[in-house]
């Protein structure tokens, strides 16, 4: 029986939103097995956040799930180009960050300089390797935990903070697709860095820490090894530090300490060039400065989603 005063399209809209939400999770997971077209996969994951907003009333929990759905979309889309690695390899940029970083490093790659100075001579995993690697791994939670802190600490800041973080990830993902760039460890493994030897220390630490389960863990998070420019690791951690500083100066100090430590770790571990980090800073600056210009579009999208909410409620 139709609820009194409910919109006649309510049951159809809710059914469509529920279907879209299920598809946003299932389709990208099945895309390789079922040969799902890339355009359909992108459309499905993009519909996820709108579906969450349509199905549930506005609460802090719903806002958090909208952002989680957005991040799921990022993870899936950023992996898509590597579904066909041979085709992606044809567009892969390898040499330009090496040339730039050699200038920044006075003739040598900063990655190699740091590893020569700080790695054990026998190549064994050191305490520094472990600390920096665990700091790197912590990034997979740090931006999201920062937003949860903001949501609890000052709910009025959450939507803007989540919008900026989502924009940084989305724009970064678009650049990864348009400009696939090899990281320093890959360039070194494939003979592009000359005398500058660069080890991927994270792998060495992972093998020691996790033993036989490491390959499964590693393959589960390394969906596209050629998504290196800009460094979203560094950019997102800096953005998180900025957003935390606006909500709570003490939390901001923790955020900045982590971001700076992570930047050092990413270069030492061979995960990113210095120019990748600089580009990550540029991405954050663009997101922050462009937000007022994007406000009309953002508000138009918000009004459209609110109309769907009103029909579905």
Cα–Cα distance between 223 and 28 in angstroms, integer? Answer: 13
pLDDT (tens digit, 9 = 90+) per residue, 62-120? 988 999 999 999 999 999 999 999 999 999 999 999 999 999 999 999 999 999 999 99
C-alpha 228/C-alpha 13 separation (Å) is: 39
Let me know: does 305 contact 20? Beta carbons within 8 Å: no
**Nearest in space to 233 (alpha carbons), one of 146, 101, 143:** 143
> Percentage of the chain surpassing pLDDT 90?
78
pLDDT tier, 4 (very low <50, low <70, confident <90, very high otherwise): low
Alpha-carbon gap, residue 152 to 161, rounded angstroms? 13
pLDDT tens-digit map of 192-244: 999 999 999 999 999 999 998 998 888 777 678 999 999 999 999 999 999 99
| The pLDDT of residue 1 | 47
Confidence (pTM) = 0.90
């Amino acid at each position: 029986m139709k609820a009194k005063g409910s919109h006649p399209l309510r049951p159809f809209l809710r059914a469509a939103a529920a279907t879209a939400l299920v598809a946003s999770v299932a389709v990208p997971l099945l895309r390789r097995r079922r040969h799902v077209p890339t355009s359909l996969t992108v459309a499905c994951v993009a519909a996820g956040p709108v579906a969450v907003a349509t199905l549930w009333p506005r609460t802090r929990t719903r806002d958090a799930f909208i952002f989680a759905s957005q991040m799921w979309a990022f993870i899936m889309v950023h992996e898509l180009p590597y579904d066909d690695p041979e085709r992606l390899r044809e567009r892969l940029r390898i040499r330009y960050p090496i040339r730039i970083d050699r200038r920044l490093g006075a003739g040598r790659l900063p990655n190699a300089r740091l590893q020569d100075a700080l790695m054990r001579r026998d190549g064994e995993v050191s305490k520094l390797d472990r600390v920096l690697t665990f700091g790197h791994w912590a990034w997979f939670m740090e931006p999201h935990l920062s937003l949860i802190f903001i949501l609890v600490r000052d709910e009025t800041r959450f939507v803007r903070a989540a919008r900026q973080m989502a924009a940084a990830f989305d724009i970064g993902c678009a650049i990864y697709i348009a400009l696939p760039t090899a990281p320093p460890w890959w360039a070194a493994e494939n003979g592009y860095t000359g005398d500058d030897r660069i080890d991927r220390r994270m792998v060495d630490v992972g093998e020691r820490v996790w033993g036989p389960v490491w390959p499964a863990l590693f393959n589960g998070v390394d969906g596209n090894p050629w998504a290196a420019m800009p460094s979203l690791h560094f950019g997102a951690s800096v953005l998180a530090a900025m957003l935390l500083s606006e909500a709570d100066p003490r939390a901001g100090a923790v955020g900045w300490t982590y971001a700076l430590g992570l930047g050092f770790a990413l270069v030492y571990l061979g995960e990113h060039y210095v120019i990748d980090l600089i580009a990550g800073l540029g991405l954050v600056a663009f997101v922050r400065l462009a937000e007022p210009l994007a406000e009309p579009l953002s508000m138009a999208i918000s009004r459209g989603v609110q109309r769907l909410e009103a029909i579905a409620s």
